[in-house]
Chains A and B, each alone.
Chain A
Amino acid sequence: AQTVTQSQPEMSVQEAETVTLSCTYDTSESDYYLFWYKQPPSRQMILVIRQEAYKQQNATENRFSVNFQKAAKSFSLKISDSQLGDAAMYFCAYRSDESNYGGSQGNLIFGKGTKLSVKP
């Protein structure tokens, strides 16, 4: 079974600085997707960025970028020029791309999350 591990329960960054959130995963599959979701105090889950495992190029979305290391099964999120609005829980998630999903049809497997605080 696939697992997702976020080893940093809490992180803190100064406004305008850069912070990196760690995520590792375990899988025997070769095709899959990885995601970072943000959950602010409102608890609305917001997609931050996604990465297809077959793509070597790291995904970027404005101030957010990932460092995807497939061999190491690592998928870290870098937030540049941190803003107060970036303060939230960040969840790393894995989704299989296998054609036979079994009982769970393409569901996301989440890590336990990292709480990011941004200091003014």
Chain B
Amino acid sequence: GAVVSQHPSRVICKSGTSVKIECRSLDFQATTMFWYRQFPKQSLMLMATSNEGSKATYEQGVEKDKFLINHASLTLSTLTVTSAHPEDSSFYICSASRVEIALETQYFGPGTRLLVL
């Protein structure tokens, strides 16, 4: 149990377009989902925390109007990179915490590699 999926796994888009990344908890309900960004050979940087049915909480320095997060249900959160630019190219990873047990443990999705041309 505790499987998290992400879609797409890889996306290439033109500068100025928007890209949506989905994060799903497949076999559990997630009260909280987290979105991270990881540059090559670096650690994970938390971008925002989302709770089902409420607005996401963004980390300092992360533009909420550029990185739109929606947590519509207990199994789905989406991250939309609006008007993407080459500097947005990165590896985006989501994670989820279970509702019923082990709330403190985060289970990670496989990540989405975004390349903006």
Interface residues, chain A, with chain B CB atoms under 8 Å away: 33, 35, 37, 42-47, 50, 91, 95, 97, 103-108, 110-113
Give the secondary structure class of B's interface.
strand
The winner among B38, B44, B59 for most chain A CB atoms within 10 A is B44
Q: Which residues of B contact A104 (CB under 8 A)?
A: 46, 49, 57, 59
Number of B positions contacting A (CB below 8 A): 23
Q: Are A105 and B43 in contact (CB under 8 A)?
A: no
B residues neighboring A (CB under 8 Å): 32, 34, 38, 42-44, 46, 49, 51, 57, 59, 91, 93, 95, 97, 103-108, 110-111
Taken together as a complex, chains A and B put the C-alpha atoms of A42 and B112 apart, in Å, by 11
* Closest-CB distance, A113 to chain B (whole angstroms): 5
Extra contacts besides A44-B108, A45-B93, A106-B97 (18): CB < 8 Å: A33-B105, A45-B95, A45-B108, A47-B106, A91-B43, A95-B104, A95-B106, A104-B46, A104-B49, A104-B57, A104-B59, A105-B49, A105-B51, A106-B32, A107-B34, A108-B34, A110-B44, A112-B43
